[in-house]
């Protein structure tokens, strides 16, 4: 049998050996899909296969910077730069990574080189910011860390005392620490805050000005001074400082945190969210204070879903904050435009010379998204000076009940029930609507003092609302108001007559 000639198979299978370029393209695809872990893996492999490709090394360095692996990113960029010393993108990222690490001289050198080579380049604006920032060298934004562990331990001990409210003890520790270490600026900053929280405002300002005089541009001192001026209502000084702080572009995480928290505390929520979010995007895992301010700044700058997400992260590490979220007691998506969410408006009421105005402020304290911030301030809520009605209102704002074992307390409880009915029908509180509540708290104050019992909260709310609206708008009828509040017209008339006698114009 004749053997058939067997032809060799066609070589249609190509052996595939992946190259650095292959993994580089895979990494770019992963980055476009925001799959950063895969991109990191592909770039690592690409750099191993093509260690002399400057673009692969540069892209790998960028991802490492996002992961805060700055030292490795610097090594990669230095290698890339040695291979291609004229590539402007590599030069820019050398400026950025040096700024992150704190090598400001090198950051400035590479940023200037980038601008010289490509004045209209994609990163020109950022390079100019790096130059501006690095030339603030005389500002000493980065506190020296040349102090021994013993000194830093004492400083941390004092800080914990302050967190627990033991300010006098903290002051004693910090004053001694400064006496022994006259250039330890962190101790000066904490001592200034301790002075402020015990009411020694002038001493706090003096100390912060000393820091800025001897350690020009100290960021913590600038931020602390802004906070002091904010609470002390020094509008001109505060505006000047905030304008200065808004121009600073810090690269160190600690300073971004300080700047973001300061902006949040003074109500500049958009700026605060920008800086705190920049930390969060870099995977920063901070303390409870970081998530508290991140959530607040997100919420008040219109990022409610993100704010709720950050608050969940806060609760995981500090469960005691449960119930203190800025949206507590509000419907999801509820407007923040009402005066009950205007912190300065509430503080103005709380500090008012008239008791009825302070009572209105205390009522709003129970409604505001700024509840925690206002309560944390050392002077805005001063229970030692409050009358019994103000103390009852503060208790109501904090969610405490009434014992109602005294006739006056029972009357006040019913007055608050009427207030809540008014609020349900007139919120969010507008500027015009705030006058209704101002009138109402005058009536409560005067009526309680004269023994009025506030027997029918619903009818009293209707009566107060009618009295206010009819004085401002023509065509208001008792019948319409009675129907709206679910009472009869004679009942409405009865309580209008009863409340009218407590208006100030009927004083003898």
**For the CA atoms of the chain, what is the radius of gyration?**
32
The larger pLDDT score, comparing residue 316 to residue 142, is at 316
With a CB cutoff of 8 Å and minimum separation 6, the contacts of 378 are 196, 197, 198, 199
Domain segments of the chain as ranges: 20-138, 140-230, 249-334, 342-506
Look up tokens 């507590």; give the residue. Answer: 328
Please report which confidence band the pLDDT of residue 412 belongs to, taking 50, 70 and 90 as the band edges: very high
- Asked if CATH classification 3.40.50.300 holds for the domain at 249-334, the reply, yes or no, is no
Determine the Cα–Cα distance for residues 282 and 94; give it in Å rounded to an integer. Answer: 18
Residue from 397, 414, 418, 398 nearest 406 by CA: 414
Determine the Cα–Cα distance for residues 271 and 264; give it in Å rounded to an integer. Answer: 8
DSSP, residue by residue, 178-229? HHH-TT-HHHHHHHHHHHHHTT-HHHHHHHHHHHHHHSTT-HHHHHHHHHHH
Question: Is the pLDDT reported for residue 448 higher than 80?
Answer: yes
Q: What is the pLDDT of residue 147?
A: 58
* Run of H or E residues at 8: none
Determine the Cα–Cα distance for residues 111 and 383; give it in Å rounded to an integer. Answer: 55
Q: What is the pLDDT of residue 491?
A: 95
Kindly list the distances between the CA atom of residue 417 and the CA atoms of 309, 371, 412, 507, in Å, as whole numbers in the listed order. Answer: 34, 21, 9, 26
- Asked if CATH classification 1.10.150.530 holds for the domain at 20-138, the reply, yes or no, is no
Q: Could you tell me the fold of the domain covering 140-230? A: 1.25.40
Q: What is the pLDDT of residue 320?
A: 81
Question: Is the pLDDT reported for residue 414 higher than 90?
Answer: yes
Q: What is the pLDDT of residue 7?
A: 41
The larger pLDDT score, comparing residue 467 to residue 71, is at 467
Least confident segment among 164-168, 277-281, 433-437, 468-472: 277-281
Residue 270 burial (C-beta neighbours within 10 Å; 0-12, 13-18, 19+): exposed
Question: Is the pLDDT reported for residue 137 higher than 50?
Answer: no
Question: Is the pLDDT reported for residue 49 higher than 90?
Answer: no
Most confident region among 23-27, 163-167, 434-438 by mean pLDDT: 434-438
Cα pseudo-dihedral 305, 306, 308, 313, rounded to 10: 150
Determine the Cα–Cα distance for residues 429 and 346; give it in Å rounded to an integer. Answer: 12
Query: What are the tens digits of pLDDT across the range 421-439?
Result: 999 988 888 888 899 999 9
Query: Do 249-334 and 20-138 fall under one CATH topology?
Result: yes
Look up tokens 């260690």; give the residue. Answer: 51
Distance of CA 234 to the CA centre of its chain: 21
The arithmetic mean of pLDDT across residues 101-107, rounded, is 73
Determine the Cα–Cα distance for residues 205 and 203; give it in Å rounded to an integer. Answer: 5
Question: Is the pLDDT reported for residue 12 higher than 50?
Answer: no
Please report which confidence band the pLDDT of residue 453 belongs to, taking 50, 70 and 90 as the band edges: very high
Cα pseudo-dihedral 322, 327, 328, 331, rounded to 10: -130
* Single pTM value for the model: 0.56
Q: What is the pLDDT of residue 485?
A: 93
The arithmetic mean of pLDDT across residues 248-272, rounded, is 86
Q: What is the pLDDT of residue 263?
A: 93
């Amino acid at each position: 049998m004749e053997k058939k000639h067997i032809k060799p198979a066609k070589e249609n299978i190509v052996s595939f050996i992946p190259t650095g370029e292959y993994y580089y393209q895979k990494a770019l695809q992963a980055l476009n899909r925001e799959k950063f872990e895969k991109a990191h893996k592909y770039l690592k492999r690409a750099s191993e296969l093509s260690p002399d490709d400057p673009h692969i090394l540069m892209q790998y360095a960028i991802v490492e910077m996002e992961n805060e692996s700055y030292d490795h990113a610097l090594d990669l960029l230095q290698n890339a730069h040695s291979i291609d010393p004229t590539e402007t993108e590599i030069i820019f990222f050398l400026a950025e990574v040096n700024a992150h690490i704190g090598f400001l001289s090198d950051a400035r050198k590479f940023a200037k080189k980038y601008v010289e080579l490509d004045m209209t380049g994609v990163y020109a604006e950022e390079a100019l910011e790096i130059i501006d920032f690095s030339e603030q060298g005389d500002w000493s934004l980065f506190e020296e860390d040349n102090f021994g562990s013993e000194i830093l331990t004492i400083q941390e001990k004092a800080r914990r005392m302050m967190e627990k409210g033991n300010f006098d003890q903290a002051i004693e520790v910090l004053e001694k620490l400064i006496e022994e270490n006259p250039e330890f600026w962190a101790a000066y900053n904490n001592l200034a805050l301790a002075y402020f929280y015990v009411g020694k405002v002038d001493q706090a300002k003096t100390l912060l000005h000393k820091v800025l005089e001897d350690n020009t541009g100290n960021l913590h001192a600038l931020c602390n001074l802004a906070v002091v001026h904010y609470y002390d209502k020094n509008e001109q000084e505060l505006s000047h400082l905030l304008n200065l702080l808004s121009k600073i572009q810090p690269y160190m995480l600690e300073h971004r945190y300080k700047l973001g928290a300061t902006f949040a505390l003074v109500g500049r929520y958009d700026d605060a969210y920008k800086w705190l979010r920049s930390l969060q995007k870099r995977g920063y895992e901070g303390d409870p204070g970081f998530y508290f301010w991140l959530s607040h700044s997100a919420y008040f700058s219109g990022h409610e879903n993100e704010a709720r997400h950050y608050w969940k992260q806060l609760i995981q590490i500090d469960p005691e904050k449960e119930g203190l979220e800025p949206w507590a007691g509000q419907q999801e998506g509820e407007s923040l435009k009402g005066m009950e969410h205007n912190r300065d408006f509430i503080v103005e009421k709380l500090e008012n010379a008239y008791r009825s105005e302070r009572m209105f402020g205390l009522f709003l304290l129970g409604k505001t998204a700024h509840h925690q911030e206002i309560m944390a301030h050392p002077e805005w809520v001063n229970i030692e000076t409050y009358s019994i009605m103000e103390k009852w209102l503060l208790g109501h704002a904090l969610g405490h009940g009434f014992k109602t074992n005294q006739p006056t307390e029972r009357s006040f409880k019913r007055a608050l029930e009427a207030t809540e009915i008014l609020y349900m029908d007139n919120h969010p509180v507008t500027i015009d609507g705030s006058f209704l509540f101002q009138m109402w708290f005058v009536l409560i104050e005067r009526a309680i003092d004269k023994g009025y019992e506030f027997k029918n909260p619903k009818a009293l709310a209707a009566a107060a609302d009618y009295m206010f609206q009819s004085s401002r708008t023509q065509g208001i009828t008792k019948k319409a108001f009675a129907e709206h509040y679910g009472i009869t017209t004679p009942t409405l008339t009865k309580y209008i007559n009863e409340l009218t006698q407590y208006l100030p114009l009927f004083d003898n």
